[in-house]
Each structure stands twice: as C-alpha cells, then as structure tokens.
Structure 1
Amino acid sequence: MRDRNIFVVGMDEDNQKRLEKLRGAESYRFHGVIEPAEVYDTEIFPIEAMLARADARLNAFHEPIDAIIGYMDFPVSTMLPILCERFGTRSASLESLLKCEHKYWSRLVQQEVMADYIPRFTAFDPFDSQSLQTIGEANLYFPFFVKPIKSSGSRLGFRIESPEDFAHAVEKLCESIGTISEPFNYVMDHANLPDRIRSVDGGHCMAEEIIGGWQCTLEGYVFQGEVVSYGIVDSIRYPQVLSFFHYRYPSRLPASIQAKMQDLTRQIMTHIGYDNAAFNIEYFWDEVQGRIWLLEINTRIAQSHCDLFEKVDGVSHQQVAVDLALGNLPDMPHRQGEFAVAAKFFYRVFFADATVIRVPSSAEVEVLQQAFPGTVIKIQVAPGMRLSSLPEQDSYSYALAYVWMGADSDLALEANYAWLAEQLHFDFTDIAG
C-alpha cells in the first residue's frame, strides 16, 4: 500500500515534527502548502493570491492528494473548504463552516436551538454614525462587548462601558477591520448565503451582552454525522482583565457541567450540519447564576492545545484533523501521556507600548527548559521591536513569550511556572501606559 500524501497549510518545522509522531504517521508523507510566514504572525491576508499559490503547488504535484488540512484560525480555516472542494478531498462544507465563523450568522443559528445559552446580540456597521443607537434598539445597554463579524484571536475586541469607550472602539475598528473584512468577503463570495447574511459582510461588527464565568474550550469533531467531544481545556485569565494567563488541560469543571456542554455541542453542531471535520467551542460557566453560555464556535482544532494533548493524552490532537481528512474515525488516545496536567502560559506585560531592548538569550531559555523536562519556551519579541508591532494581540496587553509545561498536579504546574517566569528577563525603554 502506498504512503498517503497529506498537504498542510502553513506547516512549520515544529508542527511537522509533531505530525510525524501521530499514530499511523509512518505511512504518511506531509507536504507544506503556503509558506508559514504568510499565515503566522501577520495581519495581512491576501487570500485570493494565497489560494492561487496553493492551487499552483497542488496542481504541480503529480501523485494522488489524499488530504489537505490546517490547524489555524483565519485565513487557513476558511481556505480549507475551498481547496478541498477543488481537489476532491474531505472537509466540512463552506456554508456549514460560515455558520460557525460568521459571528452574526452563527448567533442566529444558535438562537434557533439553544436561545437560553447565548447572550443578547446585534450586528452593526462601525462606519454608521448611528451605530450606537442601533445597538440600543436591540436592547443592549452598557456594558456590552464589541468585536468584528469575523476576527482572529482576541484582536479588535472591546468591552464598552460608556459612549466614550464605544467611540474609541469604533475608531480602532474602522482603522483596522479591512485587514480581515476584505479577505473574509472574498470567502463569502464563494458560498451560497441567505440574503440576510450576505448583507452583513465582513465590514460589520457584533455587539453582545456581557457574559462571563469559568471559561473553557471544548475540542471535538463530527464523523459521518456523529458529534464527539474528546477534551475540555480551561482558559484562565489574569485577574481583573481580559488577557489570558494560561490554558490548562484537563478541565477542572464539575463533571455535570462538562456533560451539559457536551450535550449542547451535539445539538448545535448537528443543527448546523457540520460534518467530517474538527471544531472547538468556547463556553463560559457562570457558577453564580448557574448558567452555561456559548461564546463562539471555531472550525479547527486549537493549535495552542496541541502540546497539551500530547503531554496528557500522548499525542497531539492534530491526530483528529489528519484522521478525519483521510476519512477515518479519529484514533485519539486518552491519558496516555507523560503528565497528569499541562498548560500553555502567556508571559505578558500590560504596557500601552514600549520598545524591547533585551530578551532572554537562547542559552538562558535552554537552561529553563532543562529545569523542567517537557517545557517549551517560545520568545515572541526581539530587541529593537515596538510592542505595538506585534500581531495577534488582545487590546490590553502584549504576550512576550509562550511557555508550555506539564506536571503531576495543578499546584506543581503553577509553582513551576511562577519560578520560571521570575527567570525570564526582558528590558524595555520608552514605556507608555
């Protein structure tokens, strides 16, 4: 039997190594399509040109193409159905994907089957001077949250406490929303959309009732119509701010709450008609109100969680994406890894801006990694860099480093990271805020 050819959009060296450790990988050949630099650490998404280059790369391959996969948010997630349809490989349909990724359409679909588990919401045009009045007519009052119809990460998301906050957010949205709205509209043009949705294009935004509580991400997939949840990752924020502190796996939510989230997931993904692809859903559990809220649906595995599943379950959940793309029931192990718990930590500063003048050296990073086996540290800045030039940041802080760690308990994990963080030395000048 021949090896299977699997093309990976934006595959870099680290992920290639992880992919080559998957179950069955001895009979797979992984090929990159679209350079990693075009989809990592950038805010420019020339999606039409990227698809053209992907077409050229795939058409020049003179062997069977068995699968095309990705494990990143926009633009990769939205490109996959288009590429897979062109080359006859497996993927969720573009329309079912957009029912998840177009935030307004997604809320409308959710409202049909789980209205008690979503916040009040409305769409608005940030370029319309009457947009705040539009939000008020939808019975949304301060405070509320705004974000683009399609965003990437936490970018351009704002908590609005006052008209002044809204004016500031709208200014930022109008300045930057085009970097995603234009390529997202190109994707929408490939889909069969209801008129109500086509008129709310990528240049629009969402306003939503504030929801909160214990945040988590349910990772799952749909295989031949069956919805499967295989892991829940907790998302822990820094105190009093929206910025993430770390992702922790496995979740410490009560079993009954996890089971209810799994049930809600089956309902919504079946209703959407999403099939033969991976996804994740972000939820809140508001323990005080006794409510579960669905925050958003993402049509991919969470790349940030790959190392966590590898540490705890024994293999990256890229296993799920590959198996589904090949038409197989995912062969995902459970609790067969080296650690009982794992996390991705975000080492942050809360400046308005600054210039970096020193970062930990490679030797310093290596010493810290060796201090705790399995630890991976990725520095995200370099001397001379302005923090405001960092892509994919939230509106309140800058992530200077990502740290993946595993341990035998939550207490050990947090203590180990606290010690490690004290040894990560960055220096700045021209600090603002």
Structure 2
Amino acid sequence: MPSADRTLLLFNHDWDAVAHQRLARTQGHRFDEDGFDLFTFPSNARLAWFDMARFVDGLARRAPARGWTAVVSSHEQFGALAAALLAERMGWPGTPVAAILACQHKLYARQVLQRVAPEANVAFQLLDAEYGAPIPDGLPYPLFVKPVKAAFSVLARRVDNHAELHRHTRFGAWELWVIRRLVEPFERLLRERLGPEVPSAHRMLLEAPVAADQFNLDGVVFNGEVRAIGVVDAIMFPGTQAFMRHQLPSRLPPAVQARALDVARRFLLAVGFTHGLFNMEFFYDAASDRLTVIEFNPRLASQYSDLYQRVLGVDLHAIEIAIAHGLDPDTVPRSAPTAGAAASFVYRAFDPADRVKLPDTALRQAFASAFPDGLLFQYPKSQGSIERDFKWLGSYRYGITHLGGRDAHELRQRCEAASALLGWPAPYAELAAAPAAHGAEAPGRSATPPAAPTPASPPGRNHPLEVPS
C-alpha cells in the first residue's frame, strides 16, 4: 500500500490501538483517529449528543483536507456502521450499510438465517412488550432474552420464569435514557434503509437457550468471495456463559469448521455482505452433532487478532487495512508464528462485594518485564459503574491478559505465573468450583450475561417459540 495513503480509525481502543500503533511503527501506515470511548469519563459524555448522520457528515467534510483514502472500525456499537456510511459517502471500499444493519438487528438476522440455513437456527420470537411494559403470559421458559440491537452483551441473559423476565425488563429513568441513546442512531438508519416493516430495534428478542461449547469463526469477504481465517474456542466459567478465555488452536474438528463456513457463506451472501471482515459466534454440540448460530458480527473481532498472529502468523488488522484500500487480503504477507498456542485470558468478579485490586505502575512494569510478549488490559470503574455492570451484565470484567506458549501446557503455566504476579485468579476455573453468579461477553467487546443454559428444541419442532418462514 502506498505510504501516502492515510487511513481513518474510528473508535480505536484496546486491541485496535495496540495493533495500529504496531502497524504505524513497523509498516509506515499513517492513521488519524476519531470517535469516543463509551467506557471512560469524560469521553463517554459525548453519548448525550451523538448523532450518527452529523458525525459522518463532519468526517466527510474533513476527509479531502486530511488526505483520508479509507476508513476502518471494529467497534460494534457505533464504529462499524459509521465506517460503512463514510466509505459509502466517499466511494471507498467498505461493507455495505444494509449488510451491517442486517447483522446487527438480531431479529432480522434470525429471520434471514431461517430462510437460508434453518438447520443452524434456534426458535425465536420478538418479545411483545416495550421497555417497562407488562410481560405477556404463556411464554415457554426457560428463555434467553437479549436486545434486538445491542453490543457488549448488555441485557442478554437467560430467564427461567415470568418473574425473572419481568425484573429484567424494569429500568429506571436514567437506565432507559442510556439504553435509548445507545440504540437510537441505529434505529434512525434502520428506518431509512430497511423500511418501516422491520420491527423497531428498541425491543427485546426471545430465543430458545442452547447448552453446548462455543466457538468463533473469523473470516473475510472480498469481491463477494467468503474466505475463512480460522476458529477460536470460547471457554466459559463453569456453569455460566461468561467468557473465561479465548484460545487457539481450536479443538473443533475441521469438518465442523467447514460446516460453519458454509452457514456463514449462505447468510452473508443473503444479506449482501460483499466486503469486509466478519465474526460468526456459534455453538457446537458434539453429542448431537448440532451447530447453532449465536450471531454474526459484521466486523473484525479485534480481541482475536493478536491470537491469530501468534499462532498462524495472520495479521487481521493488516488485512482490515488492506481491504479498506481495496487490496486483496491474500496479498497481505504472513509472519512466522511465535507460539503453538495462545489465549486471551479474562478476569472477572461474580460477587458485587468483591474488591478487585488493579495493578499499579510498578506491577504493570513487572508484568512487562516478566512477560515481554504479553498484553495487559485493566478496566477501572467507579462503584456505580460496577453496580450497573452487575445489573446489566451479571459480572464485572476487570482485566485481560494475552499470552502465548509452545503448547497448551506451557500456555497454562505462563498464565498461572502471570496471574500470581498480578494477584488475580488464573482463568482455568473449569478445574475448580463454579462461581455462584453468571455473566457473558462477546469477542472484541466488553463484559457478561446469562446463567447456565438448557438444551434448545430444534426450531419449529416441539417448542412453542415462533420461527417465521
């Protein structure tokens, strides 16, 4: 890519910031940034007046003077959609806006999946109640409930009865304001692009729960061709759907990985996803040989980029930059792998009374010295924010580390040593007692929801949830 090209980065945080700094340092990429951090004050105060159209208009006006020739973002809440809108406006390569909307509208995506890959779908229906309204009687519990449009697994969880669903959908005035401000930019664009017949994103979706191991298929679409990059295993805290670690290489058999790619290909082509990186979250139950889609994320799963680079020598962020400039992702060179196994380790509290100690400067320096290949992220929050995390997400994610090892055995040894240094429990709790509370998180996003899931009935068979044709 010519060194004169300048790329705009939107909502560039955490793994994205680390990767883009590396690309600027080692490959001479030139970047500018815009957007704000939803998780830190005062940056997140911009939510109060954020308007997607006005934001994109401002970027488009500045683009010629700044010399921008491409835009990227792996930010689920606003960034992926804003990047698609700006690319469309400027005539740059980008993911079609309608495809982003289709993936992020969870009900619409389920309807499309039912048409093109019903064997990978679950029973589902819209909750026939607005926020705070009475819950209909006669629903088939247990259920998994989540917002039609959400990110970071906010308000996604399992409910076992009418009373739990009622409590879960009661919000104070401040909570309702935040929820509506998060969803409204998407809602406005949804009405413009997909029309009034698509249900509002200001609603909740009900799904049949699934009990199975979770995986993530990462891939890229270029010139309409869907290509797989790899599969990452998502390993949960016992008895929960709270991510404990994300690990490569995957234990999923190659034949099942190929089936996942086939489902992804059918869905992505159906929604017009012709360009961009994607992440497909799915369950696989080896006993029944059933693969079930959780959701499609129309963006790079940035949390996994470092893992792929360590184990496969594949740089997802470099691929993202290349295709944003219209270059074939196969032209991006691979590097020599540095590890036989790698993981993103998630540290979280399940009890609101827990007092988590975050590392100070000296401890962070000690970590960097002892683990020069490691990445360390910490998430300090006010007590009020932590309480909201427990209410909305089910737990508090306070840290993440990335490490590699020669194999899974050495990876665990290094994780245990790093965790002991930080004073945090090593995320290998499948060998210990399950925690008492539950939560979950999606790749490249933030924290947590549900409780122990139950097996789902096949869609449209022996389960009273509706599956529209």
With normalisation by structure 2, the TM-score equals 0.81
Look up the equivalent residue of 1:187 and give its one-letter code.
L
Trace 1:11-410 onto structure 2 (pairs within 5 A).
11-12=12-13, 15-16=16-17, 18-19=19-20, 21-22=22-23, 26=27, 28-34=29-35, 36-37=36-37, 42=44, 45=47, 48-49=50-51, 51-61=53-63, 62=65, 64-124=67-127, 125-127=129-131, 129=133, 131-133=135-137, 136=139, 141-172=140-171, 175-176=175-176, 177-191=179-193, 193-197=194-198, 200-330=199-329, 331-332=331-332, 336-353=336-353, 358-381=357-380, 385-386=383-384, 388=386, 395-410=393-408
Query: How many Å separate the matches in 2 of 1:4 and 1:425?
Result: 44
Question: Is the contact made by 1:11 and 1:32 (CA closer than 8 Å) also made in structure 2?
Answer: yes
Look up the equivalent residue of 2:283 and give its one-letter code.
F
With normalisation by structure 1, the TM-score equals 0.87
Q: Which structure has the higher relative contact order (CA within 8 Å, separation 6+)?
A: 2
Question: Is the contact made by 1:39 and 1:76 (CA closer than 8 Å) also made in structure 2?
Answer: no
Question: Is the contact made by 1:340 and 1:409 (CA closer than 8 Å) also made in structure 2?
Answer: yes
Question: Is the contact made by 1:220 and 1:228 (CA closer than 8 Å) also made in structure 2?
Answer: yes
Look up the equivalent residue of 1:340 and give its one-letter code.
G
Question: Is the contact made by 1:181 and 1:203 (CA closer than 8 Å) also made in structure 2?
Answer: yes
CA shift in 2, pair 1:277/1:39, >3 Å? farther
**Offset of residue 117 of structure 1:** 0.9
Query: How many Å separate the matches in 1 of 2:13 and 2:288?
Result: 43
Question: Is the contact made by 2:233 and 2:250 (CA closer than 8 Å) also made in structure 1?
Answer: yes
Query: How many Å separate the matches in 1 of 2:302 and 2:40?
Result: 12
Deviations 1:232-273 (A, max 9, x none): 111110001121101112211111111111121112112222
Look up the equivalent residue of 2:406 and give its one-letter code.
D
Query: Aligned to 1:288, what secondary structure does the other structure show?
Result: coil
Query: Aligned to 1:67, what secondary structure does the other structure show?
Result: strand
**Offset of residue 373 of structure 1:** 3.3
Question: Is the contact made by 2:279 and 2:299 (CA closer than 8 Å) also made in structure 1?
Answer: yes
Query: How many Å separate the matches in 2 of 1:24 and 1:225?
Result: 32
Query: Aligned to 2:170, what secondary structure does the other structure show?
Result: helix
Query: How many Å separate the matches in 1 of 2:344 and 2:34?
Result: 27
Relative to total residues, which structure has the larger strand share, 1 or 2?
Answer: 1
Look up the equivalent residue of 2:131 and give its one-letter code.
F
Q: Which residue is equivalent to 2:418?
A: 420
Query: How many Å separate the matches in 1 of 2:229 and 2:310?
Result: 15
Runs of 4+ displaced beyond 6 Å: 390-394
CA shift in 2, pair 1:251/1:78, >3 Å? same
Query: How many Å separate the matches in 2 of 1:332 and 1:394?
Result: 40
Question: Is the contact made by 2:309 and 2:335 (CA closer than 8 Å) also made in structure 1?
Answer: no
Query: How many Å separate the matches in 2 of 1:48 and 1:107?
Result: 29
Query: Aligned to 1:312, what secondary structure does the other structure show?
Result: helix
Deviations 1:149-175 (A, max 9, x none): 011111111201111211111115994
CA shift in 2, pair 1:52/1:108, >3 Å? same
Query: How many Å separate the matches in 1 of 2:409 and 2:296?
Result: 31
Task: List runs of 5+ in structure 1 lacking aligned partners.
Answer: 427-431
Question: Is the contact made by 1:181 and 1:201 (CA closer than 8 Å) also made in structure 2?
Answer: no
Deviations 1:362-393 (A, max 9, x none): 211222333233111112126x6455267699
**Offset of residue 116 of structure 1:** 1.4
RMSD between aligned alpha carbons?
A: 3.0
CA shift in 2, pair 1:415/1:44, >3 Å? farther
Look up the equivalent residue of 1:348 and give its one-letter code.
R
Query: How many Å separate the matches in 2 of 1:284 and 1:173?
Result: 34
Task: List runs of 5+ in structure 2 lacking aligned partners.
Answer: 425-435, 438-469
Query: Aligned to 2:117, what secondary structure does the other structure show?
Result: helix
Query: Aligned to 2:141, what secondary structure does the other structure show?
Result: coil
Bigger drift between 93-102 and 414-423 goes to 414-423
Question: Is the contact made by 1:355 and 1:385 (CA closer than 8 Å) also made in structure 2?
Answer: no
Query: Aligned to 2:320, what secondary structure does the other structure show?
Result: helix
Question: Is the contact made by 2:6 and 2:68 (CA closer than 8 Å) also made in structure 1?
Answer: yes
Query: How many Å separate the matches in 1 of 2:156 and 2:252?
Result: 26
CA shift in 2, pair 1:13/1:77, >3 Å? closer
CA shift in 2, pair 1:107/1:68, >3 Å? same
Question: Is the contact made by 1:149 and 1:204 (CA closer than 8 Å) also made in structure 2?
Answer: yes
Deviations 1:116-143 (A, max 9, x none): 111000012343745433x73xxxx111
Q: Which residue is equivalent to 2:431?
A: none
Query: How many Å separate the matches in 2 of 1:103 and 1:391?
Result: 22
Query: Aligned to 1:31, what secondary structure does the other structure show?
Result: strand
